[in-house]
Structure 1
Amino acid sequence: MTFFNELKASLEEAVEIKEGKKAAARVTRYEIADVKAIREQLNVSQSEMAAALGTSVDTIKSWESRRRNPTGLAAKVLAVIQSNPAFFYELAAH
């Protein structure tokens, strides 16, 4: 099977899944961190959180307003902070 045929078959399968004719083989769901709740739990400002995470205050604001969602390493770090708030203070110290 050529690359084109594999791609075509994949797209046809995606259409079948979207139309409900076929079930997806796997579904991945991610829980999006509530950045504002985490920050308030830590009792820190947006600028303090931005400094600890190595990002801008605008990024923190956009996460809090849900205009954007943390992804990649930021999402993982926020998940760790949520389950272990002391980790935030370790980050902030560096």
Structure 2
Amino acid sequence: MNFFEELKTSLEEAVEIKKGNKAPSAVTRYDIADVRTIRAQLNVTQAEMAKALGTSVETIKSWESKRRNPTGLAAKVLAAIQANPAFFDELAAH
């Protein structure tokens, strides 16, 4: 099967899932991180957290005020930091 055929099959499957005709093979969900609490537990500033996560202070502020929620890789990284706070120090060191 070439790339186009794989893509077409994947999209057809997505349509069937959306219509409710087929169940997804896997669903991954992450709890929305309480960024303010995580940052307070780490005892770091918004600027320090932003630098370690490779994002802006404005993004940290928007997460903390719940205007936006961390998604994708940011959500995974925050979950990892919450489970293992020492991981933040590793991120901050690079």
Q: Name 1:46's counterpart in structure 2.
A: 46
- Please report how far the alpha carbon of residue 41 of structure 1 lies from its aligned counterpart in structure 2 after TM superposition: 0.1
TM score, norm. by length of structure 1: 0.72
**Looking at CA atoms only, which structure, 1 or 2, has the larger radius of gyration?**
1
Q: Gapped runs of 5+ residues in structure 2?
A: 1-10
Q: Matches of 1:43 and 1:11 in 2, distance apart?
A: 43
Contact 2:35 2:60 in 1 (8 A): yes
Alignment length, in residue pairs? 81
TM score, norm. by length of structure 2: 0.72
Q: Gapped runs of 5+ residues in structure 1?
A: 15-23
Let me know the Cα RMSD of the aligned residues.
2.6
- Please report how far the alpha carbon of residue 30 of structure 1 lies from its aligned counterpart in structure 2 after TM superposition: 2.8
Q: Which runs of 4+ in 1 moved over 3 A?
A: 9-14, 24-29
Q: Matches of 1:47 and 1:34 in 2, distance apart?
A: 17
> Cα distance 1:93–1:28, how it changes in 2: closer, same or farther (>3 A)?
closer
